[in-house]
Structure 1
Amino acid sequence: MKQIVISLLANAGGVGKTTLSVHLAYEMSRRGFSVAMIDLDPQRSLDVFCGLAPAEPSKTLVEVLSKDFKGNWSLAPVWKDFNVNVEVCQGHPLLAEIANELVIRKRGEYALSDRLKSFPLPHNLIILDCPATLGMLNVNALAASTHILVPVQLEMKAISGSAELVEWCISTAEELHLDPRPPILGFVPSMYDESVAMHRQYLEQLPEIAKQLHLKLYPKVRNSNEFKNASAHGLPLQVYRPKHPACKDFKPIADDLAALIKDRKEKK
């Protein structure tokens, strides 16, 4: 696979997966990379965050994962007025039914991986925005990924769940015989509010947890109502409020992704 494919994985909802997906996509495209976001969530989170209208199933990931897919990816361009190259393969509620079908289909765990190999996308970076439950769609994401990123909400349940997610990634990759096994780039503390004592406490504990799991810990992504305001307009914060301090929170991750893309190009 010529590009980087990164899964945003978490085993809980509301931890900032889509926020991270959208803002990384914009940050990378602003650096000159082409980006495709694939929405594996039946709740169509990316539609909302990117200002896209719901699409017919034939124009979404439902078609891509169907048995009869012929390679005609339906990709919706977003933020065209801001000189970026970002496209979205939209989600659909029927993905929940497709997930059940994949359980009994031959190579069902590899459906998305097979599509990306047989009908490759031209983008430098593919971001997989995954559901909050570790079902068949997330298994597909894992099998298709070159790397994984784990957003972590600063709550005890979310932190303990993230450690369990790491174990799930390792065991599932072994069961799928993935070679190489997609590495976890790191934890991303998300939705951080400095005024909340619990957030400050857990942020202090995360470095030791990450160290025990042999994972990188990225700087925090702060919480702000402006993220919600931006998504209500279908825009990333970098466009909606370009001088907002949270716009810089995505730079360290984007730096690593840019280095990975450059390294992959050089090896090719």
Structure 2
Amino acid sequence: MSSNDKIRAARIIAVANQKGGVGKTTTAINLASALAGSKRVLLVDLDPQGNASTGLGVGYDQRGNGSYAALMQEAPAASWARETSVENLHIITADNDLAGVEIELIASERREYRLQEALQQLASQYDFILIDCPPSLGILTLNALVAADGVLVPLQCEFFALEGISQLVRTVERVRRAFNADLHIAGIVLTMYDRRNNLSELVAADARSFFGEQVLQTVIPRNIRISEAQSHGCSVLEYDRRSSGATAYGMLADELAARVAARPERKG
């Protein structure tokens, strides 16, 4: 089956920002957990650091076949995804082997399509597939953008935050032209928002002024429960469902799902 002939159910969203420390993995974990309340969800940990895997309680000794095996087609597709403690949420884990993918694929044909071709084998089992990208714009992130329908961009409410997004937007446009004409910005989500901090308000206002409706209405607040949940290897929705962080990610899931439903499905 070619990349233009595939049939799939899942909407695929890459969670990406080449700037580190913006809440990307935190957003991927908690958004996936929130969506799993009513959808079948697969989270793909595509970051060699493996923080999304750790954040959902999967230790290094438990990971087995994961995103490296999926990219390299080294094991049956049925072995890539594993259950998590969240009902309806599966994860394809990451480990240090991913760090060598860029070198291993350098001479490979269609190296940009490896993840797309892997996810074709799983997509009918899920409603959403979220991809936690590494904080860079290398071959792993390129694979995610080629496979994805849309990109969710976490934007930290801090100084210099807007600078990195311009580069990502240019990358998305290049991927659209060269590999994936259906790729779009699914949304920009403001993270680490502190209403007591004037800087958060200024960054939010600048983002909405520049990017308009691409900026989601839901904002993710600074909330200690989110950090505590990660240290316990679970989502904030499992750790403290009544917290402001859990409430925000629930609202984000609803808003993103509504946005995605409003767009036509990717052709082919």
With the shorter chain as reference, the TM-score category is 0.7 to 0.9
Q: CA deviation at 1:261?
A: 5.2
Give the AA of the match of 1:3.
A
Give the AA of the match of 2:247.
K
Cross-structure match for 1:235: 234
Q: CA deviation at 1:96?
A: 1.4
Give the AA of the match of 2:203.
Y
Q: CA deviation at 1:94?
A: 1.2
Cross-structure match for 2:184: 183
Matched residue SS, 2:210? helix
Map residues 34-183 of structure 1 onto 2, 5 A cutoff: 34-55=40-61, 59-80=65-86, 84-118=87-121, 120=123, 122-176=125-179, 178-179=180-181, 181-183=182-184
What TM-score does the superposition give when structure 1 sets the normalisation length?
A: 0.88
Give the fraction of aligned pairs with identical amino acids, expressed as a percent. 25
Q: CA deviation at 1:118?
A: 4.4
User: Aligned pairs, how many?
Assistant: 259
Give the AA of the match of 2:50.
R
Q: 1:120 to 1:237 in 2, by over 3 A?
A: closer
- Please report the RMSD computed on the Cα atoms of aligned residues, expressed in angstroms: 2.3
Superposed CA deviations along residues 20-70 of structure 1, whole A, max 9, x for unmatched, are 111111111112x11110000000011221111114775111111115444
**Contact 1:39–1:46 (8 Å) recurs in 2:** yes
Q: CA deviation at 1:18?
A: 1.2
**Contact 2:65–2:75 (8 Å) recurs in 1:** no
Q: 1:193 to 1:263 in 2, by over 3 A?
A: closer
Q: 1:67 to 1:3 in 2, by over 3 A?
A: closer
Q: Distance in 2 between matches of 1:67 and 1:74?
A: 10
Q: Structure 2: which 5+ runs fail to align?
A: 1-7
Q: CA deviation at 1:125?
A: 0.8
Select 2:12's aligned residue among 2, 5, 13.
5
Q: 1:164 to 1:116 in 2, by over 3 A?
A: same
Q: CA deviation at 1:121?
A: 5.1
| 1:209 is aligned to 2:216 | no
**Contact 1:55–1:90 (8 Å) recurs in 2:** no
Q: Distance in 2 between matches of 1:97 and 1:157?
A: 30
Q: 1:118 to 1:217 in 2, by over 3 A?
A: closer
Q: CA deviation at 1:251?
A: 3.5
**Contact 2:34–2:249 (8 Å) recurs in 1:** yes
Q: Distance in 1 between matches of 2:28 and 2:253?
A: 11
Give the AA of the match of 1:240.
Y
Q: Distance in 2 between matches of 1:111 and 1:242?
A: 37
Matched residue SS, 1:103? coil
Q: 1:231 to 1:106 in 2, by over 3 A?
A: same
Q: Distance in 1 between matches of 2:63 and 2:244?
A: 38
Q: Structure 1: which 5+ runs fail to align?
A: none
Q: Distance in 2 between matches of 1:262 and 1:201?
A: 30
**Which deviates the most, 194-203 or 127-136?**
194-203
Q: CA deviation at 1:148?
A: 1.1
